Amino acid sequence: MNPGIDAVAGRVLVVDDEKPLAQMIATYLTRAGYDVATAHTGPEAVEAARAQAPDVVVLDLGLPGLDGIEVCRRIRGFSECYVLMLTARGDEDDKLAGLAAGADDYITKPFSVRELVARVAAVLRRPRTTVTAVEPARVFGALSIDLTAHQARIDGEPVALTRTEFELLAALTARPHQALTRRQLIDTVWGPAWVGDERIVDVHIGHLRRKLGEDKATFIDTVRGVGYRMVTR
């Protein structure tokens, strides 16, 4: 029976060493129409993510074998799935470390399972980059963005970006030289229904800048008091 969530079909991997909690989350997600698997240790989570190719991983940070940060980092080595991490309330260091490892979003404990199911549904409804078949690559100096191939390149070499990083880049390059607020970027990338700390944008922009090699060239300007803009230099 669907618990009131108009779910988007998808595969979800639930990773938590508290087996009753993992099972309860899995039960709610299954009732909401998802194909769900569970894992309870870090190594098991990495293997399950590799074997099952989930669309979303719900990942607790406190795991035996490998902690959630390392699990996220390893999953990012072979998958672009969405990673929704579970963190202790108010633990900013955990949130920042998880986002730095490649997580897309977070939810703080304690939480209602219905809220978590809603967040999974929301992440799968996130607006995707849409292009016309004839749109050429967007070029900003050494940087080119091919929306059709979902690929960014620097001097012709591919840049490994997460989905969230690529979608932020697509949002910025769609309106070059225009300052976009954090809220505008959240509405475009995470969706208008997303709620949480808007500084999540700053963390992902920081990752994006590092991957684009902004020690050598600047592509994204910080507009103090406003947000960010794409520049051509």
Task: Tell me the average pLDDT of the chain.
Answer: 86
Q: In what order do the strands lie in the sheet with 138-140?
A: 138-140, 143-146, 151-154, 157-159
Q: How many helices (H) and strands (E) does the chain have?
A: 8, 12
Which pLDDT score, from 0 to 100, does residue 3 have? 43
Q: Which of 129, 131, 157 is nearest to 142 (CA)?
A: 157
Question: pLDDT for 81-119, tens place per residue?
Answer: 999 999 876 667 777 788 888 888 888 888 889 889 988
Question: pLDDT for 39-83, tens place per residue?
Answer: 999 999 999 999 999 999 999 998 999 999 999 999 988 988 999
Which pLDDT score, from 0 to 100, does residue 43 have? 97
Q: CB-side exposure of 185: number of CA atoms within 13 Å?
A: 29
| 131 is a domain residue | no
* Structure-model confidence comparison of residues 121 and 181, the more confident one: 181
Which pLDDT score, from 0 to 100, does residue 163 have? 84
Q: Is the pTM of this model over 0.85?
A: no
Which two three-digit tokens encode residue 52?
A: 């099952």
Which pLDDT score, from 0 to 100, does residue 72 have? 93
Contact 40, 86 (CB under 8 A): no
**Quick one: pLDDT band at residue 233, thresholds 50, 70, 90?**
low
Which two three-digit tokens encode residue 10?
A: 């998808």
Task: Give me the mean pLDDT over the 151-172 stretch.
Answer: 90
Claim to verify: residue 170 and residue 209 sit in the same structural domain: yes
pLDDT at residue 134 tops 60: no
| 5 is a domain residue | no
Claim to verify: residue 110 and residue 158 sit in the same structural domain: no
**Quick one: pLDDT band at residue 161, thresholds 50, 70, 90?**
confident
Q: With pLDDT > 70 as the criterion, what percentage of the chain qualifies?
A: 89
Claim to verify: residue 174 and residue 74 sit in the same structural domain: no
Q: Which one-letter amino acid corresponds to residue 145? A: I
Question: Of all residues in the chain, what percent are helix, strand and coil, respectively (each to 5)?
Answer: 35, 20, 40
Claim to verify: residue 30 and residue 99 sit in the same structural domain: yes
Alpha carbon distance 30, 151 (integer Å): 33
Claim to verify: residue 112 and residue 160 sit in the same structural domain: no
Alpha carbon distance 117, 174 (integer Å): 31
| 129 is a domain residue | no
Q: Please give the distance of CA 158 from its chain centroid, rounded to a whole number.
A: 19
Which two three-digit tokens encode residue 43?
A: 């190594």
Q: With pLDDT > 90 as the criterion, what percentage of the chain qualifies?
A: 47
Contact 36, 48 (CB under 8 A): no
**What range defines the domain where residue 217 resides?**
138-230
Which pLDDT score, from 0 to 100, does residue 90 have? 64
Q: Which one-letter amino acid corresponds to residue 156? A: G
Q: Which of 121, 129, 120, 102 is nearest to 188 (CA)?
A: 129
Lowest mean pLDDT among 63-67, 132-136, 173-177, 198-202: 132-136
Which pLDDT score, from 0 to 100, does residue 49 have? 96
Q: At 61, give phi and psi (nearest 5°).
A: -85, -30
Claim to verify: residue 113 and residue 15 sit in the same structural domain: yes
Task: Give me the mean pLDDT over the 191-215 stretch.
Answer: 84
Tell me the CA distances in angstroms from 134 to 23, 131, 152, 168, 178, one per residue in order.
46, 8, 17, 21, 24
Claim to verify: residue 32 and residue 89 sit in the same structural domain: yes
Alpha carbon distance 125, 147 (integer Å): 19
Which residue carries 């769609």 as its tokens? 174
Alpha carbon distance 133, 175 (integer Å): 19
Q: How many domains does the chain have?
A: 2
Task: Give me the mean pLDDT over the 19-34 stretch.
Answer: 94
Claim to verify: residue 154 and residue 208 sit in the same structural domain: yes
